Amino acid sequence: MKFVLTGPKCSGKSKLGRVLADSLSLPFYETDLLIEELFKTKNNSDLTCRAICTQHGEDFFRDLERDIIDRVSKFDNCVISTGGSTMLNKDSRQLLRFNSVLILITATIETLLKRLSEKEIPAFLLNKTAKDLFSIKASLVNEVIKPYADIIIDSSSLSFDETFDTLSKEIAPFLISASLNNKEDVKSLNLDLSYIESFLKEHFGLSSSVSLQHPFFVTVKLEKDNFNAVLDSTATALLSKKDFVLIPTETVYGLACLWTDNVGKEIICKAKARPETKPFQMLVSSVDMAMRYGCSLNPTALKIVTAFCPGPITIIVPSVDGVSKIGFRIPEHEFVLQLIKKLNAPLAGTSANLSGEPAALNVNDALSSLRIKPSLSIDGGALPKESLASTVVEIVGDELKIIRKGAISYDSLIKILK
């Protein structure tokens, strides 16, 4: 398991990272120090990160930084502390976010400036303009990183010990998940196994139904006696707006996040090597929900919905603003349908396979094909080998156009419209 701490300057992330690493007996890496070491190796000269940037230019510095981020992103079982500016780079952010617990340590601008003054204000902050720029940058770091963070701690009114205590409590669920892969780790962390079992039972139903594909990537087998518990856990994962889930449907296994969750969509695209410009399917529980979220349905579309929904058909219609198109579907799978109803909001969905590859009919095939694993996967059992993806149709005026052949035949569709 990898913990990545980030945040603006003087948030306390580096000291917290060192203490956390020591408490867990894990190696600690500070990216700024690694950058300085890399510069020394390449140039036989000792310079701080600020001096490197000042003397050689920001582009030169960012090249070193990208090299270091690429290296540390491949590390496991460690604690990493990185500068907030590092995470403003989209590629660096994605490399460090995936397969890690991302922790944002933040504080108010007033607190950060006070801490700077207590240390000795750096030369670059001696004028008002520089302080304003520091404030803007610190605010930007918080704004950009928050949607990706698994844990957010505001240290403004906390002592260091209080901040560390808060961090320890926040990472406990991740440590519990990791411990299931190695019971010896549980002993070294002094965690109570009975507590772990009750934790899993409370959050996922039967503890025997839980397995781990990764230290904190959980796969839950969906059963009658844990249906509601798994439903609640899946809804909670989606509402966090930082991740995506793997779910069964009546057609194939799929990946899903909230329709309004742009971060989740971005991660899904990376997971299956999918073009970010390719639109997602909107999964809804009713026509009313589809219309509430921007779908415009004419009489032809309503005829198709009445005849085949819920079911394996995706209907592409104009958006209410007339600018774009939306493909929506009302799934027939009970778990997915109840999940959408519980959320009272649509999901963005796509098949759980690498782009261009065959769709997955069981949870193991889905997980093995993905470049990035979801934190929660729902195992609904193997789907029939003859299962087909949903038929995709587009409504153009009163006409129906087949975009992708699937479970519902063209003849069946035409018959309804006659």
Closest to 31 in 3D by CA, of 91, 1, 73: 73
Same structural domain for residues 386 and 240? yes
Residues 245 and 315 in one domain: yes
Do 103 and 252 share a structural domain? no
Q: Give a yes or no: residue 311 inside a domain.
A: yes
Report the number of distinct structural domains present in the chain.
2
In a domain, 176, yes or no: no
Q: Of 157, 186, 220, which residue sits at a domain end?
A: 157
In this structure, the answer to whether residues 224 and 281 fall within a common structural domain is yes
- The domain of 104 spans 2-157
Together in a domain, 309 and 248: yes
Please state whether 80 falls in left (phi above 0), alpha (psi between -120 and 50) or beta.
beta
- Same domain for 213 and 144? no
Q: What is the CATH number of the domain that holds 336?
A: 3.90.870.10
Residue with tokens 């789907």: 383
Is residue 175 situated within a structural domain? no
Give yes or no: residues 139 and 231 share one domain: no
Q: How many whole angstroms separate alpha carbon 372 and alpha carbon 375?
A: 9
Considering the domain architecture, whether residues 140 and 222 belong to the same structural domain is answered as no
249/391 same-domain check: yes
| CA-angle at 24, arms to 20 and 28, nearest 5° | 55
Amino acid at 110: E
- The CATH number given to whatever domain includes residue 129 is 3.40.50.300
Give the helix ranges, DSSP H, for 189-278: 193-204, 227-239, 262-271
Q: Assess if residue 275 is contained within a domain.
A: yes
Would you say residue 302 lies in a domain? yes
Residue 180 lies in a domain: no
Do 294 and 351 lie in a common domain?
yes
Among the three residues 135, 157, 179, which one is the final residue of a domain in this structure?
Answer: 157
Helical pair 227-239 and 334-343, crossing angle rounded to 10 deg: 50
- Listed residues 157, 172, 191: the one ending a domain: 157
What DSSP state is assigned to residue 324? S
Looking at residue 328, its pLDDT comes to 97
Task: Please answer whether residues 352 and 366 qualify as being in contact, where contact means their C-beta atoms are separated by less than 8 angstroms.
Answer: yes
114 in a structural domain: yes
Check whether residue 255 and residue 319 sit in a common domain.
yes
Chain centroid, CA 268 distance in Å: 8
Whether residues 148 and 274 fall in one domain: no
Q: Is residue 198 part of a domain?
A: no
pLDDT of the chain along its 418 residues, tens only? 689 999 988 899 999 999 998 888 889 999 999 999 999 998 988 898 888 988 998 889 989 999 999 889 888 788 999 987 888 888 888 788 767 888 999 999 888 888 877 765 554 455 556 677 778 878 888 888 887 788 899 999 999 999 998 898 888 767 655 544 444 444 444 444 454 455 445 444 434 343 333 334 678 889 888 899 889 888 888 886 556 899 999 999 999 999 998 888 888 888 888 888 899 999 999 999 999 999 999 999 999 999 999 999 999 999 998 889 999 999 999 999 999 999 999 999 999 998 888 899 999 899 888 877 787 899 999 998 888 888 999 999 888 999 999 889 988 998 888 7
